[in-house]
Amino acid sequence: MAGPTTARRGEKKSLSGPPSAAPPGGPRLRWVRLPFRAPGRRSLIIITVVAVLLGAFGAWALYASNWLRLERVKATGTKVLTPHEVTAAARAPVNAPLVSVDTDALARRLRARLPRIKTVDVERSWPHTIGLKVIERVPELVMRAGGKFTEVDSEGVRFATVGTAPKGVPLLEMAVSDSPSLHRFGIDRLRRAAVEVTQDLPAAVRKDVRKVRVRSYDAITLELTGGRSVAWGSREEGAEKAKVLTALLKAAHAGRHFDVSVPSAPAVSGS
């Protein structure tokens, strides 16, 4: 009797013992590798046919369908020019596939036909539009051209001829036909130097400039309102000359002739 009882007690003790400890860190995730199967010959044929059909459909949609054709040309950013002038000069191929429009050719054509345009950004706007974002040249000076005026921009570029001079834009007079500077620097560089002189001036002084006269690279003069004149000299040290001139104009109210060609030794004369 003692043997079986002892065995049963041992069994109960073993069943009621402490549970085995769980592995540290909790349950672990295991990557399951799925078997990779290369597509069979039939699947490759189907994939190839589908790819060819999709490519053919895409080419048809881009080039042959009416879904993506050029229908509208829009111009923005114009100030003196009108949007109609810009779109007419662009001569975009309306009804052509939008993807085939040569945007670089449109930009070149616009700059050639409308020199007032400084830059133009030609963009496709799907599904039917070409956008022309224009930045126009702004006149800094004007030159007499017969009974009209030629506008000159900040780079010294002559870009348009108008019947009436723009209000507040100084007149540029080039008297350099006998100047050695003409052969050394060229007319374009001398014209650009005149523009740079006006750009060096603060707005409060620039608004009083009526004429810029260039006799040589070293002999640029300004005519201001009230019969005042400024001997500027060369384009060099422009910022310093502008600062000295501004101070002289404030201090010498009765002065009529100002010389800032040597900014360290300016002079005022006249009354």
Write down the pLDDT at residue 237: 95
Write down the pLDDT at residue 169: 96
Write down the pLDDT at residue 48: 81
Write down the pLDDT at residue 12: 47
pTM comes to 0.73
Write down the pLDDT at residue 2: 47
Write down the pLDDT at residue 1: 45
Strands 267-269, 229-233: pairing is unpaired
B/e letters for 104-115, b = 16+ CB within 10 Å, e = fewer, are eebbebbeeebb
Enumerate residue ranges in the chain where pLDDT < 50: 1-2, 5-7, 9-10, 12-16
